[in-house]
């Protein structure tokens, strides 16, 4: 396995995940805010799965809406 190519591929995937996730969260929060129904902090959960290596990771956190 080429470690450098693998590392770059993982980083590219994670960048896409991060940018897309932020965009979707911001849009959903904006829409909920316009309707007047937001309680802060928001509970958030992300589930990462990778087929072929039997990986499932659940990441939980909170997002403060100021």
Bridge partners of residue 63, in order along the sequence: 42
Inter-residue contact 48 to 59 (CB < 8 Å): yes
pLDDT per residue as tens digits for the range 2-50: 999 999 999 999 999 999 999 999 999 999 999 987 889 999 999 999 9
Inter-residue contact 48 to 55 (CB < 8 Å): yes
Token duo for residue 62: 């909170």
Measured distance CA(8)–CA(60) in Å, rounded: 26
Query: What is the average pLDDT across 50-64?
Result: 97
Residue 56 confidence (pLDDT): 98
Token duo for residue 49: 């799965």
Q: Model pTM?
A: 0.86
Residue 37 confidence (pLDDT): 76
- The residue extents of the domains of the chain are 3-63
């Amino acid at each position: 396995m080429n470690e450098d190519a693998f590392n770059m591929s993982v980083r590219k995937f994670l960048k896409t995940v991060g940018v897309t996730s932020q965009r979707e969260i911001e849009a959903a929060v904006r829409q909920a805010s316009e309707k007047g129904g937001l309680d802060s902090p928001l509970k958030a959960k992300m589930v990462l799965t990778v087929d072929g290596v039997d990986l499932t990771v659940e990441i939980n956190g909170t997002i403060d809406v100021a």
